[in-house]
């Protein structure tokens, strides 16, 4: 939904790689931003996902950090 512009952002404290890798690519290709992830770690054990359109990414990330201790 973020890549399509239906949501301005999305946060998940933990996602498995098979649930998010393609979506992260779609978001970045559409001009959105995603929290950088270490590829090897994400593929082995998953991790946090923070995505948003450029205008609200920093604020979304700050809220996610406060809420989920990312």
**pLDDT tens sequence across 35-66:** 998 889 999 999 999 999 999 999 999 999 99
- Report yes or no on 20 lying in a domain: yes
pTM: 0.89
The upper half-sphere exposure of residue 1, i.e. CA atoms within 13 Å in the direction of its Cβ, equals 6
- Report yes or no on 36 lying in a domain: yes
Q: What order do you get walking across the sheet with 33-34 strand by strand?
A: 9-15, 47-52, 33-34
Answer yes or no: is pLDDT of 28 > 90: yes
**How many domains are contained in the chain?**
1
> What integer pLDDT is reported at residue 2 of this predicted model?
95
Which range of residues forms the domain containing residue 18? 9-68
- What percent of the chain stands above pLDDT 90? 91
Q: SS3 of 61, please? A: helix
Q: How is residue 36 written in tokens?
A: 């950088």
Our separate counts of H helices and E strands in the chain read: 3, 3
């Amino acid at each position: 939904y973020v890549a399509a512009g239906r949501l301005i952002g999305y946060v998940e404290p933990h996602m498995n790689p098979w649930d998010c890798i393609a979506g992260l690519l779609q978001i970045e290709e559409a001009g959105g931003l995603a929290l950088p992830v270490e590829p090897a770690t994400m593929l082995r054990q998953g991790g946090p996902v923070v995505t948003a359109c450029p205008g609200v990414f920093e604020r979304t990330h700050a809220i996610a950090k406060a809420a989920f201790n990312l």
